[in-house]
Amino acid sequence: MMGFLSTLVLVGGALIIVFFLGIIVLMAIRFYRPGSESRLSPEEENEARMIQEIYQNLEKLDSRVENLESILMRRDKKGETP
């Protein structure tokens, strides 16, 4: 059961990261393609900044989940109960 939950958390986290990374890449292609004369409006700049912050926070969250999984795995090997 523990293996299934940890796999589910890892896959879910990876899907979220891939989703937001894809959004960032698509936005970068749209706004910085050659020949594009338009610049970002203040609202779009704010939105892009927020997406970047979300992506950075997702990376931190992924790291924290990995740390928690390693702690739980060590506890499981020692036979401790949470």
Predicted TM-score (pTM) of the model is 0.44
What are the two backbone dihedrals, phi and then psi, of residue 40, each rounded to the nearest 5 degrees? -75, 140
pLDDT digits (tens, 9 = 90+) for 2-28: 777 788 888 888 899 999 999 988 888
Overall average pLDDT of the 21-47 stretch = 79
Contacts of 20 (CB under 8 A, 6+ apart): 51, 54, 55, 58
Distance from C-alpha of 52 to C-alpha of 75, rounded to nearest angstrom: 35
Q: Say if CB 46 and CB 5 are below 8 A apart.
A: no
Query: Encoding tokens for residue 10?
Result: 């890892």
Residues 68-81 have pLDDT tens digits of: 989 888 888 887 65
Query: In this predicted model, which residue has the larger pLDDT, 10 or 31?
Result: 10
